[in-house]
Amino acid sequence: MWLVGASSGIGLAVAEQLHARGARVIVSARQQPLLQAFVEAHPGSEAVALDVTDAQAVREAAVRLRSEGPLDLVCYCAGHYRPMRADSLALPELLKHQQVNLTGALHVVAAVVPGLLESARAGRAPHLSLVASVAGWRGLPQGLAYGPTKAALINLAETLFLDLRPHGIGVSIVNPGFVDTPLTRQNDFAMPALLTPAQAADAMLRGWARGGFEVHFPRRFTCWLKLLRILPYRWYFALVHRMTGL
């Protein structure tokens, strides 16, 4: 099982829980020392240092891992986040979000899908999962850079599901609410229904076990946000302004 973006936060917690359940876990991220610390604490796991924005490095990593055996699960949980509003727009940050959150995911998808198809033809049931966010459901204040990349991931996963499910490959999208990670600690507002990474990982594993397309949590928060998705724009904009003061 290959977790891309597993040096901290949700990815690390998922790797820990999968290892505890007996899975052979491969963790990737840019920070080799953090990966090595994981491997030392979790015997039998493997670390592959990787910059997801480097397409060739991603291809080479996928080829090497495929030579070691089939991948039953590939999860893309790498992410970048900085709060941003249009009156303080910074193009380099916008592009960095795009490169890590979306282009990196495309690099991984392109690298692993051939192997997943081969595995499915051999009778296995591989799974591809992308971690997006409820921030991708509709536009939100301070989400100028982050939200559009997560919306694109959701659309990508929907299309991958339609294309790959008939071949026997499971596809899922994970849309967490607020999780206490180094990224969300940048927020300067109270985050409702805040989860620990371990709670988020547990919700992801339970969602995968159910076999549905979308995993979203915590439901006491995300179900309300789903209702906001169906509001007409005039009502939605007014409600968000009232709720956030922005």
CB 140 within 8 A of CB 85: no
Level-2 CATH architecture, domain 2-244? 3-Layer(aba) Sandwich (3.40)
> In which region does residue 107 sit, left (phi positive, over 0), alpha (psi from -120 to 50) or beta (all else)?
alpha
Q: Measure Cα distances from 64 to 44, 57, 58, 103, 112 in Å.
A: 17, 11, 10, 21, 11
User: In this predicted structure, what is the pLDDT of residue 243?
Assistant: 86
Under the banding of pLDDT at 50, 70 and 90, the label for residue 98 is: very high
Average per-residue pLDDT for the chain: 96
Under the banding of pLDDT at 50, 70 and 90, the label for residue 51 is: very high
Pairing of strands 170-176, 127-131: parallel
Give the percent of the chain with pLDDT over 70: 100
Condensed to tens digits (0 to 9), the pLDDT of residues 188-227 reads: 888 999 999 999 999 999 999 999 999 999 999 999 999 9
Helix or strand or coil: residue 30? coil
Per-domain boundaries in the chain:
2-244
Reported pTM: 0.95
Average pLDDT, stretch 40-61?
97
Average pLDDT, stretch 148-165?
98
Average pLDDT, stretch 69-91?
96
Amino acid at site 136: G
Which of 76, 146, 233, 236 is the catalytic position? 146
Give the residue from 118, 119, 143, 116 showing the smallest Cα distance to 132: 143
Catalytic, 236? Answer no
Q: Is the pLDDT of residue 101 over 90?
A: yes
Residues 6 or more apart in contact with residue 81 via CB below 8 angstroms: 97, 145, 146, 183, 184, 186
